[in-house]
C-alpha cells in the first residue's frame, strides 16, 4: 500500500513539474490589465504605492505596478517617457548600493511607448534580479517591476518577460468608439 501511495505522489509531482504555466488576466481599477502566472497570488505588503502586487514566496517571484497620473507632475505637458525614466532610474541609482544595469531598450507594448531594462543587485546580502518597464500612455506613467533571486533568473525570465509584455491600458468608456 505504501508503494502505491509513493508512486501516486511521485506521479503527481512529475506531472505538475512538466505542466505548462497558465496565465490569468488581472484587471486593475478598470485602468489596465496584466497577465500573471497562475502560481502567483495577490499580495498586500510589497509596496504601499503599488496598484498591483502579486507574489509567490515559495518560488521567490514578485510583480508590482506603480501608476502615476501625469497631472501629479508640476509641469505635466513637459514630462515625457524619457524624463520619467531618468527620474526613476536616478532614484534607483541613489537607493541601491551596487546595482548592475543592463542597457535600456525602447519598445512598444500594446501600442504604448515603453523602456525596458534589467538590473542585478546584492545590496542587502541577497542577490536579486529585477526586470523593469516604464510605460507612457496619454494620461499616465506606469512602472512594472518583476523580481526574483539572481540564481532563479534563468528559471523565471520568460515569465517575467511575458508579464511585462502583457500590459494593456483599458480604454476609458468616454474615449471608446
Q: What is the DSSP string of 49-64?
A: T-SEEEEETTTTEEEE
Q: Is residue 5 part of a domain?
A: no
Q: Is residue 55 classed exposed, middle or buried when 0-12, 13-18 and 19+ CB atoms within 10 A define those classes?
A: buried
CATH code where residue 152 lies:
3.40.1000.10
Write the pLDDT tens digit of every residue in 128-142. 999 999 999 999 999
pLDDT at 165 exceeding the cut of 50: yes
Range of the domain at 41: 21-169
Q: pLDDT by residue (tens digit) across 60-84?
A: 999 999 999 999 988 877 889 999 9
How many domains does one find in the chain?
A: 1
Mean of pLDDT over the chain: 88
Answer yes or no: is pLDDT of 168 > 80: yes
Residue 28 lies inside a defined structural domain of this protein: yes
Residue 53 lies in a domain: yes
**Over the range 124-140, which residues count as b (16 or more CB within 10 Å of their CB) and which as e?**
eeeebbbbbbbbbbeeb
d(CA 13, CA 84): 45
**Quick check: is 33 in a domain?**
yes
Domain-embedded: residue 29: yes
- Does an H or E element contain 170, and which? none
Percent of the chain with pLDDT over 90: 67
> Looking at the domain assignment, is residue 12 inside a domain?
no
What confidence tens digit (pLDDT) does each residue in 85-102 have? 998 988 888 888 889 999
Report how far residue 120's alpha carbon sits from residue 170's, in angstroms, rounded to the nearest whole number: 32
- Tell whether 115 is covered by a domain: yes
Domain membership of residue 1 (yes or no) is: no
**pTM score of the predicted model:** 0.84
Maximum alpha-carbon separation in the chain: 72
Q: Which residue has the cell 523580481?
A: 147
Amino acid at each position: 500500500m505504501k508503494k502505491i501511495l509513493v508512486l501516486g505522489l511521485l506521479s503527481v509531482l512529475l506531472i505538475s513539474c512538466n505542466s505548462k504555466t497558465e496565465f490569468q488576466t488581472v484587471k486593475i481599477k478598470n485602468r489596465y490589465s496584466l497577465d500573471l502566472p497562475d502560481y502567483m497570488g495577490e499580495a498586500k505588503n510589497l509596496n504601499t504605492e503599488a496598484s498591483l502586487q502579486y507574489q509567490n514566496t515559495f518560488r521567490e517571484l514578485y510583480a508590482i505596478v506603480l501608476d502615476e497620473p501625469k497631472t501629479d507632475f508640476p509641469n505635466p505637458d513637459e514630462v515625457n517617457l524619457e524624463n520619467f525614466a531618468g527620474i526613476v532610474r536616478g532614484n534607483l541609482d541613489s537607493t541601491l548600493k551596487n546595482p548592475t544595469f543592463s542597457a535600456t531598450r525602447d519598445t512598444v507594448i500594446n501600442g504604448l511607448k515603453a523602456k525596458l531594462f534589467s538590473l542585478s543587485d546584492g545590496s542587502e546580502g541577497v542577490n536579486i534580479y529585477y526586470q523593469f518597464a516604464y510605460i507612457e500612455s496619454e494620461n499616465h506613467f506606469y512602472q512594472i517591476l518583476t523580481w526574483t533571486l539572481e540564481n532563479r533568473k534563468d528559471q523565471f525570465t520568460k515569465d517575467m518577460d511575458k508579464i511585462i509584455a502583457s500590459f494593456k491600458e483599458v480604454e476609458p468608456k468616454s474615449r471608446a468608439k
